[in-house]
Structure 1
Amino acid sequence: MPMPPFLAQLRQKIGTDLLLLPTIVVIARDKDDRILFVHDRDSDSWTLPGGIIEPGESPASAAVREVWEETHVIATLTRIIGVIGGAGCETTYSNGDQIAWVATVFGARVEEGTPVADGMETKAARFLDTETARSMPLRADTRRFLDAERASGSGIYFQPTDWRPE
């Protein structure tokens, strides 16, 4: 779904002004340990399945829903990889809408399905091995999410703080 109804209503009130939104991203791996990627229509680049958490929806439910909507693949969440936000987690869409986000990044295993693009948000969906993925034109935030997975090991990654009281 391109824009949830609650966000469309909010945009009618505030126009294209910057919004800070809670989001999810999913690093879903198949049985061969390849990662599920989507080719995003708006940015015209490769990224990971993800999107906005809707009102009343849990981050976990949003993660499973977004993977399904964008790829028609059913994923089972395995862990929280980390929480990413701040500089580099903002964009301006082609219609002028500005957003910034804080993403809960989930790890997942693909349970069933063959990746198929939804034709609205995504124009392609496929599994890529890590080496191939790193050579693709990935969005900068996607590289951050993959780096967080690598840095997290079996724990949870979070960006080191740069804030100190004055």
Structure 2
Amino acid sequence: MAISAHLARLRAVIGPQLIQLPSVSVILVDDQARLLLVRHTGSPDRWGMPGGAVEIGESPAQAAVREVREEIGVQIGGLRLLDVLGGADYEVTYSNGDQVAYVTAVYEAAIVDGTPAEDQDEICELDWFTPAQLRDVALNRFTRALLEATGHLAS
């Protein structure tokens, strides 16, 4: 997991203890109403959403565009804010022990340029899923809560 210089400085002072961070999650939908899910290199056994932390001086919408470009190499358009979520389901402990409570701005968007491909740094696999398939997919807790909250997955 790549972290910003700001977060690296903060972690140098506080260590791995729980901090709250603003983030973005992007639900990419294609013309067949399928959703793009990704497997993050730090947790390859569960599917998740593209996204990440909002950097200092960056708007959440700018972060959404940047994160998708960095993680899967595509340009997105039609960005639409669906919700802002937080709470216990959005707390993550990374393999290095760092703990984060995310408050995530959830966007829906479409790919307007490029073909999705794993960056192999943060994302090791990606695939498209129909809404019906999502019920049987091994989702991480964060993504399951996010898809339920936005009505993309029945609870």
SS at match of 1:82: strand
Identity in percent:
42
Gaps of 5+ in 1: 152-166
Q: Does 1:88 align with 2:75?
A: no
CA RMSD across the alignment: 1.4
In structure 1, what is the Cα distance between the partners aligned to 2:114 and 2:33? 15
Q: Is the deviation greater in 49-58 or in 83-92?
A: 83-92
> Which residue number corresponds to residue 13 of structure 2?
13
- Does structure 1 conserve the Cα–Cα contact (< 8 Å) formed by 2:22 and 2:103? yes
- Does structure 1 conserve the Cα–Cα contact (< 8 Å) formed by 2:18 and 2:99? yes
- Per-residue CA deviations over 1:11-62 (Å, capped at 9, x if unaligned) read 1111111110000001111122211111111122110101000000000000
Gaps of 5+ in 2: none
SS at match of 2:17: coil
Q: Is the deviation greater in 128-137 or in 20-29?
A: 128-137
SS at match of 1:126: strand
Could you tell me the TM-score, scaled by structure 2's length? 0.91
Matched pairs, number: 151
Q: Does 1:145 align with 2:151?
A: no
- Does structure 2 conserve the Cα–Cα contact (< 8 Å) formed by 1:23 and 1:104? yes
Q: Does 1:121 align with 2:122?
A: yes
Deviation at 1:84, TM superposition (A): 0.7
> Which residue number corresponds to residue 73 of structure 2?
72
Q: Which runs of structure 2 are paired with 1:53-68 in the superposition (5 Å)?
A: 53-68=54-69
Deviating beyond 6 angstroms after TM superposition, the runs of 4 or more aligned structure 1 residues are: none
> Which residue number corresponds to residue 154 of structure 1?
none
Deviation at 1:78, TM superposition (A): 3.2
> Which residue number corresponds to residue 4 of structure 2?
4
In structure 1, what is the Cα distance between the partners aligned to 2:146 and 2:51? 11
SS at match of 1:88: helix
> Which residue number corresponds to residue 26 of structure 1?
26
Deviation at 1:118, TM superposition (A): 0.8
Q: Tell me which amino acid in the other structure corresponds to 2:22.
A: P
